[in-house]
Structure 1
Amino acid sequence: KYLSPEETRDYINTFKPTLDEQLKHVPSLKKGANIGKFTAEAAECDELNKKAFSSTKVRDSIVCVDCGARRAIYSMKQPGNKDGPKVKHTERLKAWKEEEYYVCGDEPKGGRLYLMRRMICCGQPIETQYFEPELITGKAQKGRSVVTEAVCCLCYTDCNIAKANEIREKQDIGGKNPLPICRSCFESCLDNKIKVPTSKGSSNVRNKAIGARSKKRRMTGNAVRKGLHKHRR
């Protein structure tokens, strides 16, 4: 059993181990004859299912028993829809979550229509897609069927989450949207001059697009009022 990122940080801050001492606790990928085979299979699986790994296709989530990370569960189609997971698939998924242990990288046991990232390891940040888009961009996203909590993407705590504006004031993130992060991890990033994790989308680009649409609506409205062309129905 590995320490969670939060426990690891506390351990390092308390005992001050050197980098070499810390590296001794990192498991070697060379050990185990099946490591390479498993990695190849997991990578191939993720590549085949990459279109499903979208924020609007998150249907559920589960917590890793080893590191405490919350991982997203996806499906290409909405449960109950045509070609989507049926009731039996959802029941199997529910039973799996209640009766078995999940460790990062495991395959979900809810039928082949429910998917999870396989190339993900304990201690890695929470997937961007897991988070409710409104937590990141401030705007709800159509098609999203699952509401998720604001938890730190690095240490997984749900306490003392820093505000996005606070992060932008203290660190230049290039107009991107910061992922939810607790103040302890944020201060650690500042102290070590590390950029906080961000989403791929840019708030500057989004705001520019919103402004362009608003300008177009104003121009269309003015043209209609002046009788330059008929208003589109």
Structure 2
Amino acid sequence: MQMTAFGKVYVTTKDKVFQPSNPFRHATELTRILRDYHSTDDVNLEKTILCLMTDGGPDHRVTYETVKTSLIQLFMQLDLDMLIAIRTAPNNSWVNPAERCMSLLNLCLQHCALDRKEIRPDFETKIRHKSSLNAIRNIAKVSPALKTAFGESMKPVIENVNDRFRRMKLKNVPFTVYKGISDEIIDDQLSIVPISTQGDADETVFNPTANSKDFRECKALQEFIKMHCSSTHYAFQIMKCREDPCRYCCINPWRTDEQRVEKLSFLPCPIPDESEQVYHSFEEASTLNLFSFNMTYYKTNFLEKKVDDSKRPSAKNSSDFDDFAVEFDRKNRDILKSQKIRDIIMCGECNKPRVIYSAKKLSDEQESLLNRMKEEGNFECGDSFPEDCGFTTKRCLSCTAEVEVNYYGASLRGIRVTCCIFCGNQDDLLVDTDPYIEKLYESFSVVRPICSTCRENGQEAKT
């Protein structure tokens, strides 16, 4: 199916060092755009249902609690009746129509030289040899004035880039350009989530620097997700209560026409046909959808079950690796050993740690390159690194593969975080005093970590 680019392009530019991308910044900046151009009262969205499609980077990975919370923030700030957020599968961002403006953005930056203003000599000296964003941020924690000075030095660069973007048009519609939003506004907009779910903003501290574990442990937030949301590997959907409205839905009733409300349901997961090679069309999948239009049926039949999205390609056990990957691991078998372990990198798709191997200790330049890759968060199991980088991972690995046994070796003791060998989960691990683990230690000296979920699913601990 051929599609042509359409719509209006909005671009936000910011300082990557002290205005880093995160789910809450994206939600707040999107709220600003939608209120400016698609709201009649400058608060609520004119349309009551919002559909989002993103490229699936770390800030849009809908399985992360931080991303879920940011989408709930967007849902509440715009008083939506339903929000559907989906991300593309790995290496398939090209199917997202919004990606089609990238060629124009790249075009307007051609032959453009960028150079920030110099800051105080002592600050320049401190950041001169820092090769990662986190290194500069850490300096600013000790010297807060650096953040302000660096922001001032970046203003001409941002204005230069914005000026070029303003000249661009898509179908004769000019681009609209914004500057990054302040941290104070992000904090303020996020505060609607604890207020709406708990009635007391101070009961739980919500802030953009919190991690997924913090939000996962917030009972009121998890209860809201349980009652209003559908979460799958590639989609996160939110809908107001239709029957027995909760506290939030009583204060913010449906704005959609009642007849349309009765026909609303969550998008179904892709369902393969009998051949397991082709997926049903959307219309066919909708008829097979386990989400009934009747919310009472949905609550009684779905809430206690996990959504079955196991038919996605990345969830299938795969040992059918291409010849290049097999040959690469065979040729480098002398490097892919515990003695050659140098570091770890997290898979952005399954969030499992993968071991970095190198024939020699990593140089400062190699460590800087690896740190930048970690910050980008785009590595996926089995990915290849540049040939001349001097380090690698195993290529014959998929997201369904267990965490490598080498990960638990002595080489990584200083940087390793204990996680389940099957799923990579760091929470809810069975402790040594658990009867099942104690019994294994009677026969074995080593028992690999396993979480309660994997154990309940029938997995046996590795020894």
Gaps of 5+ in 2: 1-88, 91-231, 234-301
- Residue 453 of structure 2 is matched in structure 1 by 184
Residue 96 of structure 1 deviates from its aligned partner by 2.3
Residues 165, 180 of structure 1: alpha-carbon distance in 2 compared, 3 angstrom cutoff: same
The amino acid of 2:429's aligned partner reads: I
Residue 57 of structure 1 deviates from its aligned partner by 2.5
Distance 1:90 1:110 in 2: 15
Q: 1:90 aligns with which of 367, 382, 387?
A: 367
The amino acid of 1:45's aligned partner reads: F
Structure 1 length normalisation: TM-score?
A: 0.56
Deviations 1:107-145 (A, max 9, x none): 1348442110110001221111112x3xxxxxxx4x657
2:357 is equivalent to residue 74 of structure 1: yes
2:419 is equivalent to residue 151 of structure 1: yes
Distance 1:150 1:130 in 2: 9
Rg (Cα) greater in structure: 2
The amino acid of 2:423's aligned partner reads: C
2:390 is equivalent to residue 107 of structure 1: no
2:352 is equivalent to residue 61 of structure 1: no
Deviations 1:38-88 (A, max 9, x none): 711111111122222233422221111111111111112222xxxxxx322
Q: 1:14 aligns with which of 302, 305, 314?
A: 305
Partner SS, residue 457 of structure 2:
helix
- Residue 217 of structure 1 is matched in structure 2 by none
Residue 168 of structure 1 deviates from its aligned partner by 4.1
Residue 100 of structure 1 deviates from its aligned partner by 5.6
* Relative contact order higher in (CA < 8 Å, ≥ 6 apart): 1
Equivalences for 1:76-225 in 2 at 5 Å? 76-79=359-362, 86-99=363-376, 101-109=378-386, 111-131=388-408, 133=409, 141=410, 146-164=414-432, 166=434, 167-170=436-439, 175=444, 177-189=446-458, 194-198=459-463
- Residue 39 of structure 1 is matched in structure 2 by 322
- Residue 335 of structure 2 is matched in structure 1 by 52
Residues 125, 76 of structure 1: alpha-carbon distance in 2 compared, 3 angstrom cutoff: same
Distance 2:307 2:412 in 1: 43
The amino acid of 2:431's aligned partner reads: K
* Native 8 Å contact 2:344 2:354 kept in 1: yes
The amino acid of 2:428's aligned partner reads: N
- Residue 25 of structure 1 is matched in structure 2 by 312
Gaps of 5+ in 1: 5-10, 30-35, 80-85, 134-140, 199-233
Distance 2:412 2:314 in 1: 37
Residues 28, 73 of structure 1: alpha-carbon distance in 2 compared, 3 angstrom cutoff: closer
Residues 109, 174 of structure 1: alpha-carbon distance in 2 compared, 3 angstrom cutoff: farther
The amino acid of 2:449's aligned partner reads: P
Residues 61, 98 of structure 1: alpha-carbon distance in 2 compared, 3 angstrom cutoff: same
What RMSD, in angstroms, separates the aligned Cα atoms of the two structures? Answer: 3.6
Percent identical among aligned pairs is 24
Structure 2 length normalisation: TM-score?
A: 0.30
Residues 118, 149 of structure 1: alpha-carbon distance in 2 compared, 3 angstrom cutoff: same
The amino acid of 1:95's aligned partner reads: R
**Alignment: residue pair count:** 163
